[in-house]
Every structure is written in structure tokens, then in C-alpha cells.
Chain A
Amino acid sequence: MAEFSAFLSSAPPWFPLRFVPARDLLGVLPILIVGAGVVLVLLADLAVPRRGNRVLPALTGIVLLGALGTAVGQWVVNAAHPIVFNGAYANDRFALFADFVVLLTTLAVVVLSPGYLRRRGMEEGEYYMLLLASVAGMLVLDGALNLIVVFLGIELLSIPLYVLAGFARDDPLPQEAAMKYLLLGGFASGFLVYGMALIYGETGHTGLVAIHNVLTQTALRQQFDPLLLAGIALLAVGLAFKVSAAPFHWWTPDVYQGSPAVVTTFMSVATKVAAFAVFLRLFSATLAPYRSEWQVPIAVVAIISMVFGNVVAVAQTSVKRLLAYSGIAQAGYIMIGVAVGRPDGTQAALYYLAAYAFMNTGAFAVITILSRRGEDCDRFSQLSGLARRQPLLAGLMSVFMLSLAGFPLTVGFFGKFFLFSAAIHDGQLPLAIWGILTSAVSLIYYLRVILIMFSGVPEVEHEEDETLHLAGVTMDGSAVAARAPAATGGMPATAVILLAGVGTLVLGIFPALIYTLLQGISVVHG
């Protein structure tokens, strides 16, 4: 650190970072690395040939590993004063834990991507650059300690995702998905900014710590300003959009189904983690003095999400769409952690997010591997008899489904257990009861996926041949290469699924592995 400071103070006057204290730069080092990675990948894309190269994914992986390494370093150092940039950003353990989940998920997505993009015929270098830009937004969001930074983080996360959702440009479905995501995402941003404007107007601050202090004063005097409450409500609506909680979920099913499977993986896990990180920070820390005012509405949103997501998922016939509704329900469960608010609610929510990363990344990764040229293979009819064709994939998919349902011996069970027990400790019995009831409902559709994979005959083979034949006519020689990976998805992709499966089971038997990490984590504030 001393050398770093010395280097900066001896830098020439035009060096842009000269006037920023080294402590601040070190505090946001993971973001700087990912940001530099964006530029690097974009430039490297010009230098390397487009098709079939592994340079860009490798480069992206190295950048992500670098960011992960520095985040681990920050965790180990555990700075006593993690707040940097004059109170705008905190690299506390809460933010770092969310960083870990985001970066690991993205690494899995990057490993899955090359094979998938080749099969779907959309190998463009911008893909990796957009992925990294979105990750930068998520890292900004994890530690944001100022309303302006929260807004910038959310937009930096979202705008690349709009493009990624529509990445298969010639396909009508992704176009539709991207358009819906953009319009409804923009709508949500409008609510978010207006809510922030009202909060700023009533408190005179954009820094979360300063807002917290003002709110503590007014809450003591029992003065609940209606404009401020409206601001909090608008803020909650904007964030509920981003985490896809019902009744602000309209975009989720269409966007999840229409986007390319790798993008859906990234979107469903990493975005949810980052959005919930800021949700938790804002509500369980900044707005805590007003808890009596927002606790009931948040709990109601949680219950609506759990009921709606689980009930509608029963009727789905596409796995991607089913996972979208299941994602709405999972958002409801995590929302319990927000409603409970205290450190144990926050820890339970973080635990569930980590668990969700394992099981959902795994489930979507299976869909990614099954995808064929031109389409994602996610209809129930296409999954039938999968156990006979690919027993390993079917077995792992079953593990992920059971974990999402909250079956014992899987990580999902403990995720739900910690959330429900946090709710009960806080005296919010209805939340726990609704959670348990809807989990029972969710068994119907998760078990149905397993049933379909293990019963039923494999899809007629000639159909697959026909697809490949057509592809062979229209596409160039790469169609031949597409035939081989369609069977297994290649070694690295299988390894990702195996790791996710092992993680789901091991953490389901030894939940303490993550829970001890979370002990004592609470949002650093002031």
C-alpha cells in the first residue's frame, strides 16, 4: 500500500489517479479490475479472429479471477474502516460476500458461454465485454453507500443486460425479450429515481449514512413525513422490479424465456444477488428507523411473490419459464430476510442468495448444455426421457430441482430453514407459515420436471438429425463441430454443472461452511 501511495504521488501531473487517495483506490480495486477488463476485452476483440477462439473467454475469466482474488484479499484484511470515497462506497464483508457470489456465478457463465454461443451461432466478442460491464455494475451496487452510486450501479448493471438479452439479433424471441426488459427496466428506473429524489428532498442528503441519521431523528419524534414515505414506497417499487418480486414481475417470464440460456443464467442469479444486496442495505440499515412503516408492505410483497410464483409455475411447460416463476417465488423467500431486517434476517438472506447461486446456476447450466443450434431445448417434451440419454445430467438436474424445492440434505433446505427461523424469531409467524405452505406447492412442479426426465421415451431421434441437416445446409463448416458438443456440452461445461451439484449437496450436509463466513456480518453503516 505504501509503494502504491508513493507511486501515485510521484506520478506525473497528468496522471488521472494522482489526486485520489490510495486507500480509496484499494477499496474499490475489484471494480477497477473489472472495469479495466471491459476495455481490455473490447480491444482484444479487435485483434483476435472472431470464430472459434478461446482468447476472449480466457481473458474474461482471468479478469474475473483477479477481481475475486482482490475481493478475497479485502475479506482477509477485513479493514476496520471499510468506507471509502468520502462515504460513497463500503467494501465491508457484506459487500464482499455479495461480490464473491456475483463473481463466482459469472465465472461459471463464462465457462458455459463459448460452447453455447458456438451452437447458437452468435460468437461475438462484445458478449464478454458486456458481461464484464454488467458485473462492474453489480460490484458497484454491492457496496453502494450513496443514492447516486446506487442509481449508477443499477444502470451500469442493467444497460449491458438489455443488449445481452437481445444478443441473438436475428431471432424474434430474444428481440422481444430485450425490448420488454428495456421498457420495463426503464419504467422501474423512473420509479427508483423519483423515490430517491423525494428521499433526498426530505432529508437533504444522498449519502445513506447521513439519511439514516436524519431518519433516526425524525422517527424519534414520531414525525413520518408523507413525502418521505412516498419516496420510500417508490424506491421499494423500483427495487422490487429489479429483484422480480410480484406484483412487479411482469417482465420476468418473457425475458427469462426469450433471452439466450447463458444470459438467463447470469441474469437470474447475479442480478438478483446484487439487487438484493442493495435492497438489504437500504432497508435493513438506512431506512431501519422507519421499519414500523415499511415492514408490513414488504412482508405483503414477499407473500404475494411466494404464492403467485409457486402457483403459476405449476402450469408451465417450458423449463426456462418455470424457472422464471420459481425465481419470482425465490425472490419472495429472500424478501422475508428484508422484512425481518435485523442482522439474522440479513445473514439468512445472504445465505439463501449463495444457495440460490449454486442451485439456479446449475439448473440453467443443464438447459445451456442441452441447447441445440438455433434454439434452447427447454420444453418439457424435449426433456422427456433425458435420464436414459444422459443419466448424469438428469441426475444433477434432479438435485437442483430438489434443492430449489427445499428438500433436506440440499443447500436449499438450509436456505429456507434460516429464513423461516429468522422470521419466527422476529415474531413474524405468518411469513414463515406462508413460506412453508408455498414450498409444499412448489414440490408439485419441481418433482414434475424430475418425473418427466426419468419417465417417458427420449425424443424421436430423426427430428434432431433433421435440425442438424438443415443447419449443415445453411451454415458453414462449423455445423459439423456443432454435432459433437450437442451430446455432452464439452468438458468445462460439465465440470461447472458437477461443481454446482457437489456444492448443492455438500453445503446441504455441512451448512456451516458458508454460515460461519456469515457470522457477524452486518451492514457497515457509519
Chain B
Amino acid sequence: MTGLFPGFLILSAGLFSVGAVGVLVRRNPLVVFMSIELMLNAANLALITFARYTQTMAGQVFALFVIAVAASEVVVGLALITGVYRSGRRLDLDELSEMSE
């Protein structure tokens, strides 16, 4: 079992990188939002792996909290995205830039 730990950590680091790159390159707010979720869940995987590795419970508790917080962030996020969509604007982050000078 111990031999699998580096594998889980590499997977988690990979997921995190995919998420981070997704946030930086994608322009659709929904996809950006999904990328953020990917980053948070990569962190969850790392937390669970470390919890097993260090034989402590804190990591699992932390992961539960991260899941709960991510869910509430989704609620706010989707509401905002719906609001922008309702106002008749295209869901594109490049077009949502009326303020930059």
C-alpha cells in the first residue's frame, strides 16, 4: 500500500495543474469554474492521501470541509453566471471587461 502514495500525489499534482491551466486559458466562466473545482478536488485527494500516510484524521476532516465550502461557492457562482446570462451578455470573460482602461 505504501508504494502507491507517490502515485496518488502525482495524480493530485497533475489534476491541480490541469485546473490551474484551465483557469488561465479558458474564457467561458462555467469552464473556469469547473477548473477551480478541479483544483479544490486535487487538494482533497492530496489531503486524503496524506491523512492515510500520516495516520491522522485531520486530513479527512479538512477534505470534508473543503467539499462543503466548494458546494457553497458553486451556489454563489452559478447564481452570478446565470445573472450575467440573463442580462443578455455572452458568457465570455474577454467580453466582460468594460472597466479596464
Contacts and interface: CB of A to CB of B under 8 A. Distances in A.
Given A190-B40, A194-B42, A162 B76 contact: yes
Contacts of B97: 176, 254
Contact of A193 (B43, B50, B53, B72): B43
A139 interface: no
Interface in A146-185: 147-148, 151-152, 155, 159, 162-163, 166, 169-170, 172-173, 175-180, 182-183
Given A179-B29, A197-B50, A254 B99 contact: yes
Contacts of B81: 179
B14 interface: no
A183 B87 contact: no
A194 B53 contact: no
Interface string B72-101: 110011001101100101000100111111
A183 B29 contact: yes
B40 A155 contact: no
A198 interface: yes
Contacts of B43: 190, 193-194, 196-197
A151 B65 contact: yes
Contacts of B89: 172
Contacts, number: 136
A147 B47 CA distance: 12
Interface string A435-469: 00000000000000000000000000000000000
Interface residues of B, number: 43
Contacts of B96: 175-176, 179-180
Nearest to B72: A159
A254 B100 CA distance: 7
Given A176-B98, A187-B39, A204-B54, A159 B73 contact: yes
A251 to B, nearest CB: 11
B58 interface: yes
B16 A155 contact: no
A186 B87 CA distance: 23
Contacts of B29: 179, 183
B11 interface: no
Given A176-B96, A200-B59, A169 B39 contact: no
A182 B70 CA distance: 12
Contact of B84 (A155, A179, A316): A179
A201 B87 contact: no
A522 interface: no
Contacts of A187: 20, 23, 36, 39
A197 B23 contact: no
Nearest to B77: A182
Nearest to B32: A183
B76 A151 contact: no
A61 interface: no
Nearest to B36: A186
B77 A148 contact: no
A194 B56 contact: no
A183 B50 contact: no
A258 interface: yes
A155 B66 CA distance: 10
Nearest to A254: B99
B80 A190 contact: no
A284 interface: no
A197 B59 contact: yes
A206 interface: yes
A231 to B, nearest CB: 10
A186 B84 CA distance: 18
A156 to B, nearest CB: 9
A205 interface: yes
B82 to A, nearest CB: 11
B62 to A, nearest CB: 5
Interface string A318-351: 0001000000000000000000000000000000
A200 B50 CA distance: 7
A114 interface: no
A431 B74 CA distance: 40
Given A162-B76, A201-B50, A196 B62 contact: yes
B68 to A, nearest CB: 9
B101 A197 contact: no
Contact of A162 (B16, B50, B80): B80
Contacts of B84: 175-176, 179
Contacts of B39: 187, 190-191, 193-194
B30 to A, nearest CB: 10
A163 B29 CA distance: 16
Interface string A126-147: 0000000000000000000001
Interface string B46-67: 1101100110101101100110
Contacts of B53: 201
A315 B101 CA distance: 10
A189 interface: yes
B16 to A, nearest CB: 6
Interface of B: 16, 19-20, 23, 29, 32-33, 36, 39-40, 42-43, 46-47, 49-50, 53-54, 56, 58-59, 61-62, 65-66, 69, 72-73, 76-77, 80-81, 83-84, 87, 89, 93, 96-101
7 contacts: A152-B69, A175-B84, A175-B96, A176-B98, A180-B96, A197-B50, A321-B99
